[in-house]
């Protein structure tokens, strides 16, 4: 004995799907995900003796200002200037549905890149790009952003 199933509303669903801006939704989602990765990765770890004038090596780094050195006669000279890395994060649109997150401070890769991070940076608490990605994915942040973007596209299409 055959069963007959009737689906109503299929025409409306097709119309809604065809009117949805999924490329725009995915562009918004990738921007949100990139911002989430930045929020996880960008914060500076706690300061250490390397950031203190009491560093027994006589050299220290002041975030946002630069490097300093105490000379043998006790005078202090600035040896470098800071690129103020915390303010050098950029998100750029790439194509219709993706974004590039980067930090343009010349030394940021040695602190934030999983491929290039120097050993002491990880030991002091600097977070890598890969760690930030894993946090955004594992904590469900990426999924929530994508679902919200797609639902927003459906709502916009339905309202047309």
Q: HEC states along 11-23?
A: HHHHHHHHHCCHH
pLDDT in tens, 76-117: 999 999 999 999 999 999 988 889 999 999 999 999 999 999
pLDDT of 2 > 80? The answer is no
Cα–Cα distance, 41 to 86 (Å, whole number): 10
Helix (H) or strand (E) holding 30: helix 22-41
Residue 96: alpha-carbon gap to chain centroid = 19
Predicted TM-score of the model (pTM):
0.82
Based on the number of CB atoms within 10 Å of its own CB, is 98 exposed (0-12), middle (13-18) or buried (19 or more)? Answer: middle
Cα–Cα distance, 87 to 111 (Å, whole number): 15
Confidence of residue 5 (pLDDT cuts 50, 70, 90): low
Q: Please tell me which residue, 129 or 159, carries the higher pLDDT value.
A: 129
Domain boundaries along the sequence of the chain: 1-43+85-160, 45-82
pLDDT of 69 > 70? The answer is yes
Cα–Cα distance, 132 to 42 (Å, whole number): 9
Question: What phi, psi does 66 have (nearest 5°)?
Answer: 140, -165
């Amino acid at each position: 004995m055959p069963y007959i199933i009737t689906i109503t509303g299929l025409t409306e669903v097709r119309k809604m799907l065809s009117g949805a801006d999924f490329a725009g939704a995915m562009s918004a989602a990738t921007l949100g995900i990139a911002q989430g990765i930045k929020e996880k990765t960008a914060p500076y770890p706690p300061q250490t003796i390397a950031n203190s004038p009491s560093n027994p090596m006589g050299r220290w780094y002041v975030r946002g200002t630069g490097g300093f050195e105490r000379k043998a006669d006790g005078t202090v000279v600035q040896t470098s200037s800071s690129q103020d890395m915390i303010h050098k994060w950029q998100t750029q649109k790439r194509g219709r549905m993706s974004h590039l997150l980067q930090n343009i401070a010349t030394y940021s890769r040695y602190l934030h890149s999983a491929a290039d991070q120097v050993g002491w940076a990880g030991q002091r608490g600097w977070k890598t790009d890969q760690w930030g990605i894993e946090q955004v994915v594992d904590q469900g942040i990426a999924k929530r952003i994508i679902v919200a973007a797609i639902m927003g596209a459906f709502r916009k299409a339905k309202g047309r």
